[in-house]
Amino acid sequence: MDIDNNVKLGIFVLLAVVFEVFTMGVIADNTHNPQYLWIVGLLAFCFIIMLINNLLVNERPRLLYYLLPAASSLC
């Protein structure tokens, strides 16, 4: 099924906003946690993977086709 690029971009923007709100909540709830920097690092890693996955969605090589969704599911 072929989806319009504007619909894909709209879905991605909404997912990014939801992820940012979720991230702010997690960071605010864990400021007292000794593993605070690890949590922030993992959330940043997940966001970067999400951006890379969106940018390379049309021209991703076969290796990234399988690795990026697997990496983002680990988050």
Q: Are 73 and 43 in contact (CB under 8 A)?
A: no
pLDDT at 64 over 70: no
54, 55, 58, 59: CA torsion to nearest 10: -130
Structural domain count, the chain: 1
pLDDT band at residue 71 using 50, 70 and 90 as cut-offs: low
Is the whole-model pTM more than 0.85? no
Q: What residue numbers bound the domain in which 67 lies?
A: 5-74
